[in-house]
C-alpha cells in the first residue's frame, strides 16, 4: 500500500505590510551587528579618546542609538513601500504547494519549483514562514494564508524533509 504524501496548498496576496515585515526580518541581524559595533566604537571613542567621562559617553551613545534606530525605521518603511510598489508580480495572488518533494510557487503564468536541497534556511516568524532560496531572496508564506492544522502539517513537512541545519521554527513538530 502506497503511503499518502503530506501536502500543504495555500494561496493569497502578499500585502505591503507583510512585505515590510519580511524586509525588517531580513536585515534585522545585520542591523543589530552593525548598530552594536558602531555604538560601541562611538562610546569608546567618546570615553577614551575624547576623555569626556563614561557617563557622558554612555548617554551620548544611547541618544545616538535612538536617532539611528528611528532613521532606520523610516528608511525601511520607505524602501519596502517603494520595492513593493515596483514589483507588480508580487501584488498578484500566489499559489504555494509545499510537499515532500519541495516548494512550488505559481503567480499568473510564472511558475517556480525548489527542491528541499535548494533551500538555504527556513525561519518561522510570528507572521510568516521564510524559505530562503538565496542570501537575499525568500519564498514568503504568511501565516494568514493557513489555518492552525495546516501550520502543524507544514512544520511536520519541514521537519521531515528540510536538509539544511538552518531551520528555526517557533514550535516543535510532533
Q: What is the pLDDT of residues 105-155, one digit of tens each?
A: 999 888 999 999 999 999 999 999 999 998 888 899 999 999 888 999 999
Give 36 or 131, the one with higher predicted confidence: 131
Task: Report how far residue 162's alpha carbon sits from residue 117's, in angstroms, rounded to the nearest whole number.
Answer: 7
Average pLDDT over residues 15-27: 86
> What is the arithmetic mean of pLDDT over 1-13?
79
Domains of the chain, by residue range, sit at 7-11+92-168, 15-88
82-107 pLDDT, tens digit each: 988 988 888 899 999 999 999 999 99
Helix or strand or coil: residue 44? helix
Question: Hey, is 46 helix, strand or coil?
Answer: helix
In 87-164, which ranges are continuous DSSP H helix?
Answer: 148-161
Tell me, rounded to whole angstroms, the distance of Cα 62 from its chain centroid: 27
Match domain 7-11+92-168 to its CATH number in 1.10.3470, 2.30.29, 3.40.1350, 2.60.40: 2.30.29
- Provide Rg for the chain, Cα atoms: 21
Q: What does the DSSP 8-state code read for residue 133? A: S
Q: What's the CA gap between 45 and 63, in Å, rounded?
A: 15
Amino acid at each position: 500500500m502506497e503511503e499518502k504524501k503530506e501536502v500543504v496548498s495555500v494561496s493569497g496576496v502578499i500585502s505591503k505590510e507583510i512585505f515590510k515585515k519580511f524586509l525588517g526580518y531580513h536585515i534585522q541581524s545585520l542591523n543589530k551587528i552593525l548598530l552594536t559595533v558602531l555604538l560601541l566604537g562611538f562610546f569608546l571613542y567618546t570615553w577614551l579618546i575624547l576623555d569626556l567621562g563614561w557617563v557622558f559617553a554612555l548617554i551620548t551613545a544611547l541618544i545616538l542609538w535612538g536617532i539611528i534606530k528611528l532613521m532606520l525605521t523610516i528608511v525601511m518603511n520607505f524602501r519596502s513601500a517603494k520595492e513593493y510598489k515596483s514589483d507588480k508580480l508580487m501584488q498578484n495572488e500566489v499559489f504555494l504547494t509545499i510537499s515532500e518533494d519541495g516548494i512550488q510557487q505559481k503567480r499568473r503564468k510564472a511558475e517556480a519549483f525548489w527542491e528541499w536541497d535548494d533551500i538555504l534556511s527556513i525561519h518561522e516568524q510570528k507572521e510568516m514562514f521564510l524559505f530562503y532560496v538565496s542570501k537575499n531572496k525568500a519564498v514568503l508564506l504568511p501565516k494568514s494564508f493557513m489555518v492552525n492544522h495546516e501550520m502543524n502539517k507544514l512544520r511536520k513537512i519541514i521537519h521531515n524533509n528540510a536538509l539544511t541545519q538552518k531551520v528555526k521554527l517557533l514550535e516543535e513538530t510532533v
